[in-house]
Amino acid sequence: MTTMPPVRTPQAPGRTPAPSAGQSPGAPASASALPTLDPIKLVKKYKWLLLATTVVGMVLGVVSHFVLLRVYPIYTAFIVYECAPQEESVGTMTLTPNFRDELDKFMATQVQILTSDRIARRAAEDPEMDKNAKAWTDRFKRGNTLDTAKAVKALKRRLSASILGESKFVRLSLWDTDPDVAKAAVEVVGAVYLRDRRSDSMGELAERKKLIGDSISEINDSVSRLQNSRSRLLVDQTVESLDDRANQAIRQMTAIDEKLVEIRAAKEAYIVRRDQLRREQERPIRNYSETIRQQVDQNPTIQNLTNTINTLKGELTAMKQRLGDKHRDVVQLGTRINGLELQSQSEREKLLAQEFDSQLDGYTTAVTSAEAQESDMIKKFDEAKARAAELTQTLAKVKDIDREIERATESKARLQQDLKSIDIMGGMRGQSRVVLFQPAEKPKVVTFPKLYVMLPAGVALLLGLVGGVVVVREIVDQRVKSPADVALIPRTRVLGIVPHAQEDPAGAERIETVFRDRPTSVLSESFRQLRVALLKRMHNAGHKSLVVMSGMPDSGATTVVTNLAYAFAAADQSVLVVDANFRRPAIHKYLGLAEAPGLADVLAGATTLDAAAQSTDNANVKVLTAGSAGARAFERLSTRTMSELLREASSRFDLVLIDVAPAMVAGDALAIAARCDASMLVVRAMAEKRGMVARLRNELSDARAEFTGVLVNAVRSAAGGYLRGNILASHNYQNNGTEPGAKE
């Protein structure tokens, strides 16, 4: 029974695969992305060039130092000035909390003035410059006329000024190739600056005097306005009468407040008693208080009835003793007494109700009266409060005005004192905030060149130049040097790497069968890792046939096929190797097999797969060679017969590996990729470019076979950076530290 491999639905022609993360839809897959440069790798790769550049740079720096020292030495002369804080009065310095900020600003201003066009122009035109620094001025003369513009420009270029750290010192520097000229020129500039500073100082004093005079006038106007405002507030009253009236209003507020508290307390008591009576009134049977009952008992009507009943009761008792209980007179008297008692009780109830209603009306009236009194007291309190607030506000305004007048008077006194101090300072001709601290001296040591500057400068210059060339070269170089370069291509998976044969310490004799000959070598371990990646992907997808193709000749695809066959065979997989490279078949040479019969003969119908498949030294590996030269028709690789052959081979073997001609020189690879299950691209490091890999990846992605990824072959440690260390560690671990090249 033939097992059919799962059929993958071919993609429509021209359909672009789904874009990867970070790529816009419809963007073509390309290798145009700039490679990410690893500085460590670059240093390791070009270490000898960089070392030679460093040595040459040091030599260049030393030579440049001595040449410049002889041809163009620079001497710098300088003058140091000391700056003082602002003087507010004679002999007294300002020591306000922000005096440091003021001094820093002043010193920064002086630095700008020292290097300004004004000072440079005055110094260039100063007769002392032509007298003391004639060698310098002669450089800018045309005949006997000084070219002031050029002289000023040159002087500004050589001048510099700076603040010395956090101190109060400012340094003026000037450089020249002649130490005498440098000293003379900086002295002239310093003298011009000091004259300019003295002139500015006198102008500053005049300006300050004017500002102080204006401030005094403003203070006088302000005091006059304040006094007028005070007079309008007081009118005919004095401050003391305002104070008394305010106190009287406050006392009245206190008294009203106390009375208001009493009224509110009484009102609350009336409300409580009124509400109690209202609740009692709503009951079916009223429970009158003892007070109401006593008041009713004092009523004359009740008292007369009570006395009459008591008298008749006494007579009834006497008649009973004399006549007996059943006597007619006794019965009549008893009936009369009962009638009077009923009358008394009725009258009492009537009077109790009247008294209850009278008390309820009284408390209701009392509550109303208390509320009226409370409202009246509140109105009086608000009026008293408004009067007190008005008086207090007026009193506060008067006191504020008095304080403002007092402060203005004190400020005026201080300004008048400052004005006197300025008048005294104006007579002191030498007064200035800037004084000469250290005069100019003839420089004895060159400022430039310095060996400790020229040496690293030469190294830095050459290293920067060479490093720039190296970086540009690496960026422009589109060759695949390591898996990282393949990873730059969108949607391209790296299946693994195979180091260059020379990197393997085991020293493989025949790279084509290294897995069979040296199974513990680093190269063999690379094929094992590739086997794991391929086996996982193909097993999950149910694939059996894999076409292994390269872009250019000598990429190593045939070597990968033979070693990969032995790697799968070592994992108990039955493998059929198919040599579909009709142009340059080589697998039969590598494995020592006959060239025919083979694939070409099977496709021509001259033989069968069973008859053409040749056994090897490994029972799990069989090979279908290219076949007879006369039967190698390239077109048969894209026929239905080829598809049926691959289907038959997939049913008999666990894996079918197909070697094809390079894709850039023949179309056989893509034709076979349209008939098998999976494809893999082999790229040789330092030989093929990313653009070609991207193009082949796109073509393989559009084919029927699933594109599994790219294998980077013949990777060197110089390109991989850390690869050399990994190779040595892997070799030593697998061979227990044996020497490279020893027999396993």
Using the predicted structure, report yes or no on whether residue 358 has a pLDDT greater than 60.
Answer: yes
Give the side-chain half-sphere CA count within 13 A for 487: 9
Using the predicted structure, report yes or no on whether residue 707 has a pLDDT greater than 90.
Answer: no
Within a domain: 257: yes
Within a domain: 180: yes
Residue 425's Cα: distance from chain center in Å?
56
How much is the pLDDT for 671?
86
Q: Are residues 79 and 192 in the same domain?
A: yes
Q: Dihedrals φ, ψ of 23, to 5°?
A: -110, 135
Q: Are residues 166 and 244 in the same domain?
A: no
Q: Dihedrals φ, ψ of 17, to 5°?
A: -60, 160
- CB crowding 77-102: b at 16 or more within 10 Å, else e: bbbbbebebebbeeeeeeeeeeeeee
Q: How many residues does the chain have?
A: 744
Report the candidate in 656, 370, 622, 371 with the shortest Cα–Cα distance to residue 534: 656
Within a domain: 416: no
Q: How far apart are CA 193 and CA 80, in angstroms?
A: 12
Q: Are residues 491 and 584 in the same domain?
A: yes
Pick the range with the lowest mean pLDDT from 88-97, 159-168, 229-238, 582-591.
Answer: 88-97
Q: Are residues 597 and 689 in the same domain?
A: yes
Q: How far apart are CA 441 and CA 78, in angstroms?
A: 7
- CB crowding 641-661: b at 16 or more within 10 Å, else e: ebeebbbbbbebbbbbbbbbb
Helices 300-323, 290-297: axis angle to 10 degrees equals 70
The mean pLDDT of 309-336, rounded to a whole number, is 83
Q: Give the residue with greater pLDDT, 187 vs 290.
A: 187
How much is the pLDDT for 160?
92
Q: Are residues 162 and 255 in the same domain?
A: no
Q: Are residues 403 and 505 in the same domain?
A: no
- CATH number for the domain that contains residue 607: 3.40.50.300
Q: Are residues 182 and 250 in the same domain?
A: no
Q: Take residue 201 and report the two structure tokens written for it.
A: 């100082």
The mean pLDDT of 286-298, rounded to a whole number, is 78
Q: Are residues 153 and 246 in the same domain?
A: no
pLDDT bucket at 653, cuts 50 / 70 / 90: very high
3-state secondary structure 407-426: HHHHHHHHHHHHHHHHHHHH
Q: Are residues 188 and 250 in the same domain?
A: no
Within a domain: 740: no
Using the predicted structure, report yes or no on whether residue 8 has a pLDDT greater than 60.
Answer: no
522 close to 731: Cβ distance less than 8 angstroms: yes
Beta-strand ranges (E) seen in 450-544 are 494-499
Q: What is the pLDDT of residues 498-548, one digit of tens each?
A: 887 676 666 667 878 888 888 878 788 888 888 888 888 888 888 889 999
Within a domain: 467: no
What mean pLDDT is reported for the chain?
Answer: 79
Last residue of one domain, picked from the residues 417, 438, 459: 438
Q: What is the pLDDT of residues 636-652, one digit of tens each?
A: 888 888 888 899 998 99
- CATH number for the domain that contains residue 353: 1.10.287
Q: How far apart are CA 603 and CA 633, in angstroms?
A: 9
Report the candidate in 189, 731, 229 with the shortest Cα–Cα distance to residue 499: 731
The sign of the CA dihedral 685, 686, 690, 691 is negative
Q: How far apart are CA 45 and CA 412, in angstroms?
A: 81
Within a domain: 570: yes
Q: Are residues 245 and 187 in the same domain?
A: no
Q: Are residues 648 and 542 in the same domain?
A: yes
Q: What is the pLDDT of residues 387-403, one digit of tens each?
A: 777 777 777 888 888 88
Q: What is the pLDDT of residues 541-574, one digit of tens each?
A: 888 899 998 888 888 888 899 989 999 998 898 9
Within a domain: 622: yes
Q: How many domains does the chain have?
A: 3
Residue percentage of the chain with pLDDT more than 70: 83
Q: What is the pLDDT of residues 136-146, one digit of tens each?
A: 888 888 888 88
Within a domain: 174: yes
408 close to 219: Cβ distance less than 8 angstroms: yes
How much is the pLDDT for 97?
52
Report the candidate in 350, 710, 321 with the shortest Cα–Cα distance to residue 496: 710
**Does an H or E element contain 291, and which?**
helix 290-297
Whole-number Cα distances in Å, 362 to 246, 273, 430, 512: 41, 10, 100, 129
Q: What is the pLDDT of residues 221-264, one digit of tens each?
A: 888 888 787 777 666 455 456 666 677 778 888 888 888 888 88
- CATH number for the domain that contains residue 79: 3.30.70.1130
Q: What is the pLDDT of residues 19-67, one digit of tens each?
A: 343 333 333 344 444 556 667 777 877 788 889 989 998 999 899 988 9
Location of structure tokens 């890999």? 693
570 close to 702: Cβ distance less than 8 angstroms: no
Start-to-end C-alpha separation, the chain: 44
Q: Take residue 162 and report the two structure tokens written for it.
A: 């700076």
Q: Are residues 268 and 383 in the same domain?
A: yes
Structural domain including 111 reads 75-202+430-438
pLDDT bucket at 479, cuts 50 / 70 / 90: confident
Q: Alpha helix locations (H) across 238-299?
A: 239-281, 290-297
> What pTM does this model have?
0.47
